[in-house]
Structure 1
Amino acid sequence: MQATAYTYDSDSRCGSVLLDDGTPIPFDAPAFDAGGLRLLRPGQRVRIEVESEGEGAAPRITLVTLQTL
């Protein structure tokens, strides 16, 4: 799934992305680390992998990496 980087804190390695419909989804340090990135700037297009924890639960991002063509 694709999204746009919205926020990122380099100290905690946490942040959030915006889906194409404008929905924000936060990500934690393990999701950032899984993508192998060192830095993320707001506005960058990213690829994310999302895991659902069950019906009605908010999606959880498990991987954030740069979107490449």
Structure 2
Amino acid sequence: MQGTVASFDQSTRAGSLLTDEGMPMDFPAASLADHIRHLRVGQRVFVETGPSGEITSIKIWT
């Protein structure tokens, strides 16, 4: 799925996003790909979710 970053706390590396389906979701720092050091509000991302709907992986568009 794809989404747009709504908030990002650089000190904790956690934040929230809005999916293309309009659903707001929070994400933990552990879900960020290793190469991601910062996300900006409005940035497009690829999102993978686990069986219970939690975000397990976020990757940025290149």
Normalising by structure 2, what TM-score?
Answer: 0.88
State, as a whole percentage, how many aligned pairs show the same letter: 40
**CA pair 65-49 structure 1, distance change in 2 beyond 3 A:** same
> Residues 15-34 of structure 1: matches in 2 within 5 Å?
15-32=15-32, 34=33
Greater Cα radius of gyration, structure 1 or 2: 1
Q: Runs of 5+ in structure 1 lacking a partner?
A: 54-58
Query: Hey, what does 1:62 align to over in structure 2?
Result: 56
- SS of structure 1 residue aligned to 2:31: helix
- SS of structure 2 residue aligned to 1:3: strand
Normalising by structure 1, what TM-score?
Answer: 0.80
RMSD, aligned CA: 1.2
